Amino acid sequence: MNARREAWELLGGEYDVRVLEPSPPAVTVGPWFADDPLAGPYGVRLVTPLAGLGRSWDDLSRERPELAGFCADRWLGAWRRLAPLPRAFVAGRRSLHALAEHIVAAARYTANGKIGLRFTRQGFGTPYFGAGHQVRVEAGRLIVDGAAHTPATLGEAASIAGIPLGMPPDVYSPSTPAAPDTHLPLNLPAAEALGAWFGFAWSVLEQLRFDGRSLSPGRVQLWPEHFDPAVDLGEESAGRRASFGASPGDDAHPEPYLYVAPWQKRPGAFWNDATFGGAALSYAALLGADDQRAAALGFFRRGLEELNS
């Protein structure tokens, strides 16, 4: 799947386009070994998911309503609202986390030693690697080089992906077991909710990264061991750098939440979550917001202000 070409063809080649998902060709040079979906060079007629860089997909979809579904499905614009979580969300999240840790990230690590993952439509996946390979999870199904599979167990998933099961112990400490008989039930409502959360998070974090481009931002990546998209910004030497992220939930937080995690402890009431020494905004708070993306960006921008206060 070539996400950028798909968008370019949809617009009839009229615009230079940027999207949130990885696109080929595979990047074979360091340090990232991955494409930056929003990087230049930029054409004169540019459409991006960002406000402030060319025309936005959101504005274009207002002018051309037939584009709204395409944009909403890919979290480029015409954004849908986050919905209440399905009842089996936690169990589904754990199953998909196991796929991320032991299959998807492992496939990329085997090829180039990297583990960072990305948002892909209705889920998550690798950037392109090797000779144009990609492994991703879409609506709960494992997609290996474009072919869809529904493995019953973790061992079967590893066989489909063509990798040994079990990451080297010095890479990260897994949060989920790597037993080959680990059952992988297909939980479509949970998979859809998780895909929406990652798409929402990616669109917000890439906007934050663009707005904070003077603050030495890193790349937005989904870290498999924590299963959360995050980006680092701020002046490290002054103790003002932090990770800004979107957890789908963990042992201390059963529901998803946004967070700002300062690299050095900071005083003040904003830092309201003692479990990791940072600030958190709950999924319930986002659900209740009139404009969910504005609420998320407002929370992250407040974090930047607190870091610099």
If asked whether residues 94 and 183 sit together in one domain, one would say yes
Q: Are residue 256 and residue 219 in the same domain, yes or no?
A: yes
Q: What is the residue range of 96's domain?
A: 89-188
Residue 118 and residue 153 in one domain:
yes
Instruction: Give domain status of residue 48, yes or no.
Output: yes
Are 227 and 303 in a shared domain?
yes
Distance CA(128)–CA(24), nearest Å, equals 6
Q: What is the pLDDT of residue 128?
A: 97
Please tell me whether residues 183 and 205 are part of one structural domain: no
CB 81 within 8 A of CB 137: no
The pLDDT value recorded for residue 4 is 96
- Under-70 pLDDT residues of the chain: none
Is 68 within the bounds of a domain?
A: yes
From CA 299, how far away is CA 95, in angstroms rounded? Answer: 29
- Number of residues that this document lists for the chain: 309
Write down the pLDDT at residue 277. Answer: 94
**Cβ(35)–Cβ(114) below 8 Å:** no
Query: Do 184 and 194 have their domain in common?
Result: no
Tokens coding 170: 């010095």
Residues 294 and 184 in one domain: no
Domain boundary pick from 168, 188, 208: 188
Query: Based on the domain organization, do 272 and 219 belong to the same domain?
Result: yes
Residues 247-267 pLDDT 10s: 999 999 999 999 999 999 999
pLDDT in tens, 86-95: 999 999 999 9
Tokens of 145: 């080089």
Domain assignment present for residue 17? The answer is yes
For residue 78, tell me if it sits in a domain.
no
278 found inside a domain: yes
Domain end marker among 188, 206, 239: 188
Verify that 301 and 194 share a domain, yes or no.
yes
The helices-and-strands tally (H runs, E runs) of the chain is 9, 13
pLDDT of residue 112: 94
Final residue belonging to a domain, choices 45, 73, 101? 73
* Full-model pTM: 0.96
Residues 217 and 181 both lie in one domain? no
- Phi, psi (rounded to 5 degrees) for 143: -115, 115
Per DSSP (E only), the strands in 71-187 are 118-120, 123-125, 135-138, 141-144, 147-149
Number of domains observed in the structure of the chain = 3
d(C-alpha 223, C-alpha 228), whole Å: 6
Is residue 154 located within the same domain as residue 51? no
Residue 270 · residue 202 · CB < 8 Å:
no
Residues 195 and 299 in one domain: yes
Quote the pLDDT of residue 61: 97
pLDDT, position 185: 93
| 113 contact partners, CB below 8 Å, separation of at least 6 | none
Encoding tokens for residue 7? Answer: 């968008």
